[in-house]
Chains A and B, each alone.
Chain A
């Protein structure tokens, strides 16, 4: 019986729910010292002087470092030349949170006291806190190497003026994709131990090999004596693939002090130091006809990079513009983007990284067209969908060749769950009753690019390669250990990969362990991000398991004196097809696989061990259709999500429970972006939402129950057929929610409302309408 598609309980959970998980902060090696940061409280300032004398005099303080102490080290990896982010900033601080000095002390409390005792003399410089400030003529400049604050500008890829001039209708939309803080429950944590035998770094990280390679290059040391371990990791959402300066500082300080150095970011630090996500502005022009058919689309993306551009951050608008056409066949698409620096926290990957921005944009555009033409939003979608037989589909972007999908099918499936006519009738009735809450119905047919990826795709972001490693090792008793380079941090990969291996090997799921997150144990690896773990890493597990199984069959055939092709496995017994009585258990095959005298001619002992570097030819393109129903309190402007219908197409489902978990989590973050979360700065660049008191991560009761459906189109790039699902919810939910909010208010002439749709914003609209 296949385990693919089975609701298997997570192998991870017994440890985690009994408090036996081991996170970096749980580790307490002997002699461990603690690092604390002095961070800039100024958005942009010259650092005139730093007085460290009082801190150095505190009992238990082991080191106080400023820029001079790290001047010989490179800048933070993944920085851009001339705009490098020093590990400790030098004469200028460029955002609130920029590291100005570092303290190491014998305990955390002394380290915090010492950090507080350091006196920094700032001379404020004019700052740019927003894109409009950064792009204003005569704007203050952040990096002398730039002309102005634009790091990179790509003009429209095509001139569409003729298409727009000829079009029966055109419309425009300006959108803001609000800046979000990833805010994982576990912030950045690192423990570095640099001894005579080498350097070991435990880090809350999503890609340990990537970090190992980078650390070794950074310090000019050998990879064989550099070990990175990502133990249990408490959420990452993309923010834990960034090379946080703290990691390199902990290692450098451990080398200098000859003892382990640990750093645990505080929540308030995490809010300003961990790289943010989204922070894009869009200017969109669309040409269409009276039936709602889109003729041409122009999208201009302005990406806030924060104070120091990061290689991943620079890639965000590339992904957004690549995915700008969404599920639709649009004859002409021209895209343009600009990366801009501001005196704010750097921006990089956050769940969805560039794709939620694209789906939000195009799904708002669809509803705008519906509003302009009077054609129902469902119809506008159906009119423009790429047909189910239209794959592979080459988009306007060389990056995106959609592999498969059935967008109309997903929307139809959605409408089986959401009774649209009934909802519309209810909406009309509510509108007529001034005491009733307003009802809004919003749809999103979304699509994203995942399964990173084909050769070259991750190299562009500084990775070694884009494959994922998998090693399958059968133990002498017939159990198996899988080693994967994917480094899960909450996804349940230990469970899904064991399901995949169990199917191929014929070994019981309970006798398969999955190991990850340690460069000394895992052959090589890339990591978990871009919804790639199953689509690439899982496929690797399948390939390696198949190889091992073929060899096991050879041994079994030899032992049973039968031909290999006749051998099948059932309940961990190999037998000759049709003759179950003639059998040999997996445990014996495994045992004998290590005994030269028992093996068929030419077979080496230990051959039930295979390592694969799994490549895939293309990205994957998970898609789906969501419907959100909101109620709006006419007196307070409060938005309540009443229903959320979710149809996902992630190809083959390995474990429905885990897919649901991923979707629910992603949707929660999408709802959060649409209604709650917004990392804000005041005019001068001081963060206004730097604590969880002000930055509203929604709580469980704020989220609705979900009704889930599914369609399945297979991923042609792997044999599993799986596409990846980690980011889907965060891609699909924001447009569904905002479309619903706009729908609820459309009788007032509202065409758009920026995220987050806060009660006060909505109240001002409602009040203005009176």
Chain B
């Protein structure tokens, strides 16, 4: 009954190259970033990797860089750093806002953006930002670097396009300077995972993405298209749950989730400046 992980080995990687080498040489190893998704699973013995490769000390994967056209956020940047970053607040304000709504301060001080995205939890907040803004994931493996669009990144429940021998090194967010945004997170208990969440990015390439409305984080495609086509908030909100297959749990059945998705979409659209 839980809370005590099985035995594992622990290795520290000082660089991406070293981490890749360790990944290749250990069977059944897992990368350890902030540990705030992985360690709970290990404690419940839902996963029992033989080796943890701690990448949290790799300097090249930390921090936010303004490359001109995009903001490049290192995979190991903690939620708290993203939340407080002036550059992020200026150029991808939706990201800073949502990073500040992840869990509680302890979680935000440990958890990393890369860990959150690679974990692929449909109930996590940050994947919706990547989807709504059209971010690009930068992944490194033995064969070199790959770039994956957010829309192609989330494959299945807790599964992403990052291969077992690869590392997510950075996320590139297109700048949305000055554009409106909205994020609505519905919870019963504060600081919890979203029962349903909706992210809206306004601007010339608007996007709407959903949290906890299926087995993977996903864009609200129909609603996003309607928005791009100039539909009004009510019409867009009505399409929010289109094509989704929402989960059912003690907090919400599928009907309620669909309803919440459209209510929250409307609110997020209004927050983003749409009328």
| A interface list, Cβ under 8 A from B | 36-37, 39, 108-109, 112-113, 116, 266-269, 272, 635-636, 638, 676, 680, 688-689, 691, 694, 696-702, 758-760, 763-764, 767
Contacts and interface: CB of A to CB of B under 8 A. Distances in A.
B191 interface: yes
A701 B251 contact: no
Interface string B180-191: 000000101111
Given A688-B250, A694-B250, A267 B191 contact: no
B44 interface: yes
B2 A267 contact: yes
A455 B69 CA distance: 80
The 3 closest A-B pairs by CB, nearest first: A268-B2, A266-B3, A112-B4
B126 interface: no
Contact of B189 (A112, A113, A689, A702): A702
Given A109-B7, A638-B186, 16 more contacts: A36-B4, A37-B1, A113-B7, A269-B2, A272-B1, A635-B263, A676-B188, A680-B250, A688-B250, A689-B250, A691-B2, A696-B188, A698-B190, A702-B190, A763-B256, A764-B256
Contacts of B186: 636, 638, 759
30 contacts: A36-B4, A37-B1, A109-B4, A109-B5, A112-B6, A113-B6, A113-B7, A116-B6, A116-B45, A266-B2, A266-B3, A266-B4, A267-B3, A268-B1, A268-B44, A635-B263, A636-B186, A636-B263, A638-B186, A638-B188, A676-B188, A696-B188, A696-B189, A696-B192, A698-B189, A701-B190, A759-B186, A759-B188, A760-B251, A763-B259
A758 B251 contact: yes
B7 to A, nearest CB: 7
Contact of A699 (B190, B250, B260, B263): B190
Contacts of B259: 763, 767
Contact of A676 (B4, B104, B189, B252): B189
Interface string B25-39: 000000000000000
Contacts of A112: 4, 6
Contacts of A680: 250
A760 B196 CA distance: 12
A636 B263 CA distance: 8
A699 B7 contact: no
If over half of B's interface residues share one DSSP class (helix, strand or loop), that class is named, otherwise mixed; here it is loop
Most buried by A among B3, B7, B252: B3
Contacts of B45: 116
A112 B188 CA distance: 33
Most buried by B among A266, A268, A680, A760: A760
A636 B4 contact: no
A680 B186 CA distance: 22
Interface in B1-30: 1-7
Contacts of B177: none
B1 A266 contact: yes
A90 to B, nearest CB: 20
Interface residues on B, range: 20 to 34
B245 interface: no
B205 interface: no
Contacts of A702: 189-190
B109 interface: no
Nearest to A695: B250
A239 to B, nearest CB: 17
A680 B251 CA distance: 12
Contacts of A636: 186, 260, 263
Most buried by A among B6, B188, B190, B191: B188
Nearest to A678: B250
A701 B188 CA distance: 11
B238 to A, nearest CB: 13
Contacts of B251: 758-760
A702 B1 CA distance: 29
A708 to B, nearest CB: 23
A759 B104 CA distance: 22
B108 to A, nearest CB: 15
A269 B43 CA distance: 13
B253 interface: yes
A116 B43 CA distance: 13
A37 B2 CA distance: 11
Nearest to A702: B190
Nearest to A759: B188
A268 B6 contact: no
A691 to B, nearest CB: 8
A268 B1 CA distance: 6
Contacts of B5: 109
Interface string B187-213: 011111000000000000000000000
A763 to B, nearest CB: 6
A488 to B, nearest CB: 28
A636 to B, nearest CB: 6
Contacts of B191: 699, 701
Contacts of B1: 37, 39, 266, 268-269, 272
A99 to B, nearest CB: 11
Contacts of A635: 263
Contacts of B190: 698-702
Nearest to A688: B250
Nearest to A696: B189
Contact of B252 (A694, A699, A760): A760
B213 to A, nearest CB: 15
Nearest to B264: A636
A638 B189 CA distance: 11
Contacts of B7: 109, 113
A758 B188 contact: yes
Nearest to B190: A701
A492 to B, nearest CB: 27
Most buried by A among B1, B4, B104: B1
A638 B252 CA distance: 12
Interface in B244-258: 249-253, 256
Contacts of A697: 189
Nearest to B104: A699
Contacts of A701: 190-191
Contacts of B192: 696, 699
B240 to A, nearest CB: 13
Contacts of A691: 2
Nearest to B257: A760
Contacts of A676: 188-189
B68 to A, nearest CB: 39
Contacts of A764: 256
A764 B255 CA distance: 10
Interface in B221-275: 249-253, 256, 259-260, 263
A282 to B, nearest CB: 23
Nearest to B266: A635
Interface in B102-129: 104
Nearest to A96: B1
A143 to B, nearest CB: 25
Contacts of B256: 760, 763-764
Nearest to A763: B256
Nearest to B256: A760
Nearest to A700: B190
A420 B252 CA distance: 34
A113 B188 CA distance: 36
Nearest to B4: A112
A268 B4 CA distance: 11
A39 B2 CA distance: 11
A635 B186 CA distance: 12
Contacts of B188: 638, 676, 696, 758-759
A267 B4 CA distance: 11
Contacts of B263: 635-636
A268 B3 contact: yes
Contacts of B44: 268
B51 to A, nearest CB: 16
Contacts of A36: 4
A244 to B, nearest CB: 15
B190 to A, nearest CB: 4
